[in-house]
Structure 1
Amino acid sequence: MKLTAWAMERDGERGRDVHLLVTVEAEEDAPRAPVAVNLVLDRSASMRGAPLAAAVEAAQLLVERAGPRDYLGLLPFDGVPEQLVPLRIMESSARGALSESLSMLRAGEGTALHEAVESGASAVRRLFIPGARPKLLVLTDGEPSVGPRSLADFRTLGSKVAESGMTLHALGLGRHYLPEILEALTGPSGTGFTHVDDPEGLPVAAAALVAELFGEVGTDARLYVRPTGFTELQCRHRYAARVEGDSLSAGLGSLSHAFPRRALFTGRLESADWSLGVTTTWTENGDTRRVSVPVQRVLPDSPEGRFIRAVGVELDLVAAESAAWKALMRRNPIAAGQALAQAEEALRELVKLAVDAVPAKRHVDRLADLKLAVERRTQGDLPALLVRRARAADARTGLSIIQPAVPVRKVENN
């Protein structure tokens, strides 16, 4: 693993602060473990036509990229989930059968999302594959209409899936799924969810998810930060964090090739003499690794310092953007305008910092859409699409799963 920890001291609102950025990245040549992925695919009425065809194309990519030691299964769902193809090792005959089953899928009625995820997870749990990583990949474009629908139910389900040792990944398509539900399902697994505006964007998003799924090297990664000389310390990213003895720990989840994990911590100083002890653990090939990470102190205007600042600014930007859309949907234009102003100020700061690894350009189109909607106080279906896009960006950035920026399709507010 490539491990770095940079600490930067600077003035804060209440005195001197220290910002600690820890990055964990799998080596490119590290061998990956096989995976067991159950594909939970929405085939409700709203998926009829182009959406279902694009979803099938994206799923076929999963089949093509699977290695000979990987296991794949298919559980399509409408009002009733059906484990159409059990999890099978991707030998030639199984690969062909799964591909054929995908091509024969037809749309139905209803959206039993809760039962589908529950059934898909149950199927994975019933099969023990030594050394394989158990996973669910959920693709949906609709709100649940059959079975449990409350956010609390999906939070409980997401936690249950994660506690069983499984990771859950999700793609939300279009303007009708509920981002809060996908966030509740994926948050406990530390994966976030991905938003796709329309069927044309599915192949690109699916390719990124496939790279993440099939590039996994380590699991159960966790950071431990032991502060000395601080009055407080918090984790800025929304990893599951907890106090353990004299340290603050944050669970990073899985580690994949080309998908570094970052965690930003901010602490308020009590004295000029301070230190931070950083340790990371993860499971690799069945063994638990524990490594101490040397902390390098950097200046705010150094390349490393600017990088730390850019990560923090981007967190502020996406959080303010998401808050603005939510305020707009609640018909509170004043709060939306205030949050928009915060997001725009963060964008200006990100542009000034000019850090290539945290590009400002991937936020420009989204904020332009948001500004137009706030100025027109637009309500209705179009902002519902855009708030899903913003919530997905917030979820992925908040968990800091670093991946290449995907071009954002421009959507006009008419």
Structure 2
Amino acid sequence: MKQMAWAMERDTEHGREVHLLVTLEADADAPRAPVAVNLLIDRSASMRGAPLVAAVEAAQALVAQAGPRDYIGLLAFDGMSEQILPVRAMEPDAKAELAERLSSLETGSGTALHEAVDLGAAALRRVLVPGARPKLLLLTDGEPSVGPNAIVDFRQLGSKVAESGVSLHALGLGRHYMPEILEALTGPSGTGFTHADDAEALPTTVASMVTELFGEVASEARIHVLPSGFAELRCRHRYPARVEGDAMSVLLGAVSQACLRRALFSGRLSAAEWNLTVTSSFLENGDTRRPSVPVTRVLPDSPQGRMVRAVSVELDLVAAEGSAWKALSRRDVESAGRALNEAEAALHELVRLSAEEVPARRHLERLADLRLAVERRVAELPALMVRRAKAEGARTAVSQVIRIPINPKKKVEH
């Protein structure tokens, strides 16, 4: 496991602060863990036609990657949830049957999203695959219409799933699903959710998820930071965090080949002399490892310092963008304009920093759409843009960065 920690001190209007950026990245030649995934596929009425075809093709791409050490199950849901095939080893016969059952899925009515996630996790907990952390992969394009539908219900369910040892990954398709629900479900797992605009965009999006799921090298990765000389320390990324004595512990989740994890900490100093002790812990090949992470102090204008600053600025950008969309949804155009100005200022700073690892270009289209919405004082929000922005915000907040794409002609980053 490659581990780096860069600490950068800066003077601010609030006093002296330190940014600490910790990165975990799996070695390219490290053996991957077996996969244990329960596929949850939405077959509600809104999925009829091209969306369901695209979802099935996406699931087929996942199945095609599986080997006999991998376990995959299939749950389909509309107004009711059905575990069509149990989570089982992908021997040739099982793999062929799963592909056939996927192809025969038909749409129904209603969307029992809460029940689907709850039952899907329960099915996973009945199977033990040594060396594999069980995962749910949810593909949906709709809002829940059957069963619980409040954000708090899904936040509690997401916590319940994560605490049971299951991680939840989600993909929202099109313009009807509720990004707040997917964020509530995936937040406790530290995965974030992904968005595909339409059926044509789904293969590329799923390719990145396949890279993540089938490249896992370590699970339950956690960063421990012990500060000295600080008045306060906080984690800027939205990973599950807790206090352990005088240290802060942050759960990053799984680390996969080609998918690195970043965690940015910011702290206000209370003394002239300060220090940060960083260790990590993770499960690799069935063993728990607890290596120390050497901390390198860097200058703000060094390449490493600009990288740390760029990660911080990007977090500010997506937070301001999210605030602008929320303000527009309340018809508060003035507040939306102020938040948009903050996002655009952050974008300009990101361009100026020119950190290759944090490209500004991936924010250009969305902020241009946001600017158009604010200037037109829109009454009807472009739902597609809102969902895309919220998915980007969720993934940036947990910093799952895909460095090496499946298709080398297309670089995919979150």
Give the structure-2-normalised TM-score: 0.96
User: Matched residues in 2 for 1:35 and 1:289: separation?
Assistant: 21
1:289 match:
289
Equivalent residue of 1:16, what SS?
strand
2:383 match:
384
1:275 match:
275
2:221 aligned with 1:221, yes or no?
yes
Amino acid in structure 2 at the alignment position of 1:114: H
Once the two structures are superposed, what CA deviation does each residue of 1:305-341 show, in whole Å capped at 9, x if it has no partner? 0000000010001111111011101111111001100
The number of residues matched between the two structures is 407
User: Matched residues in 2 for 1:379 and 1:223: separation?
Assistant: 44
2:333 aligned with 1:326, yes or no?
no
Q: Is the 8 A contact 1:5 1:23 kept in 2?
A: yes
Kindly state the Cα deviation for residue 127 of structure 1 after the two structures are TM-superposed: 1.4
Question: Closer, same or farther in 2 for the Cα pair 1:337/1:407, shift >3 Å?
Answer: farther
2:394 match:
395
Equivalences for 1:165-204 in 2 at 5 Å?
Answer: 165-204=165-204
1:55 match:
55
Kindly state the Cα deviation for residue 241 of structure 1 after the two structures are TM-superposed: 1.2
1:156 match:
156
Amino acid in structure 2 at the alignment position of 1:153: D
Equivalences for 1:15-94 in 2 at 5 Å?
Answer: 15-94=15-94
Amino acid in structure 2 at the alignment position of 1:257: Q
User: Matched residues in 2 for 1:28 and 1:193: separation?
Assistant: 24
Equivalent residue of 1:188, what SS?
helix
Equivalences for 1:235-246 in 2 at 5 Å?
Answer: 235-246=235-246
User: Matched residues in 2 for 1:407 and 1:275: separation?
Assistant: 37
Amino acid in structure 1 at the alignment position of 2:29: D
Q: Is the 8 A contact 1:326 1:387 kept in 2?
A: no
Amino acid in structure 2 at the alignment position of 1:343: A
User: Matched residues in 2 for 1:283 and 1:379: separation?
Assistant: 50
Kindly state the Cα deviation for residue 166 of structure 1 after the two structures are TM-superposed: 0.6
User: Matched residues in 2 for 1:25 and 1:95: separation?
Assistant: 31
2:125 match:
125
Equivalent residue of 1:346, what SS?
helix
Q: Is the 8 A contact 1:329 1:383 kept in 2?
A: no
Question: Closer, same or farther in 2 for the Cα pair 1:285/1:170, shift >3 Å?
Answer: same
Superposition misfits of 4+ residues, deviation over 3 angstroms? 404-408
Unaligned runs of 5+ in 1: 409-414
Equivalent residue of 1:96, what SS?
helix
2:245 aligned with 1:253, yes or no?
no
User: Matched residues in 1 for 2:23 and 2:318: separation?
Assistant: 20
Kindly state the Cα deviation for residue 359 of structure 1 after the two structures are TM-superposed: 0.5
Equivalent residue of 2:259, what SS?
coil
Equivalent residue of 2:81, what SS?
coil
2:366 aligned with 1:373, yes or no?
no
Equivalent residue of 1:82, what SS?
strand
Once the two structures are superposed, what CA deviation does each residue of 1:183-232 show, in whole Å capped at 9, x if it has no partner? 01000100000011111111111110111011111111111111111111
1:411 match:
none
Q: Is the 8 A contact 1:241 1:251 kept in 2?
A: yes
Structure 1 range deviating more: 128-137 or 316-325: 128-137
User: Matched residues in 2 for 1:260 and 1:103: separation?
Assistant: 34
Equivalent residue of 2:385, what SS?
helix
Amino acid in structure 2 at the alignment position of 1:59: A
Once the two structures are superposed, what CA deviation does each residue of 1:333-362 show, in whole Å capped at 9, x if it has no partner? 111001100000000000111111110000
1:6 match:
6
Query: Could you tell me the percent identity over the aligned residues?
Result: 68
Kindly state the Cα deviation for residue 407 of structure 1 after the two structures are TM-superposed: 8.3
2:354 match:
354
Equivalent residue of 2:395, what SS?
helix
Equivalent residue of 1:200, what SS?
coil
Kindly state the Cα deviation for residue 130 of structure 1 after the two structures are TM-superposed: 2.2
Q: Is the 8 A contact 1:170 1:193 kept in 2?
A: yes
Amino acid in structure 2 at the alignment position of 1:274: W
Equivalent residue of 2:382, what SS?
helix
User: Matched residues in 2 for 1:170 and 1:291: separation?
Assistant: 31
Once the two structures are superposed, what CA deviation does each residue of 1:151-201 show, in whole Å capped at 9, x if it has no partner? 111111111110110110000011111111100100010000001111111
Equivalences for 1:104-115 in 2 at 5 Å?
Answer: 104-115=104-115
Equivalent residue of 2:276, what SS?
strand
Equivalent residue of 1:147, what SS?
coil
Q: CA RMSD in A?
A: 1.2
2:147 match:
147
2:315 aligned with 1:315, yes or no?
yes
Amino acid in structure 1 at the alignment position of 2:290: R
User: Matched residues in 2 for 1:131 and 1:16: separation?
Assistant: 44
Give the structure-1-normalised TM-score: 0.96
User: Matched residues in 2 for 1:54 and 1:231: separation?
Assistant: 51
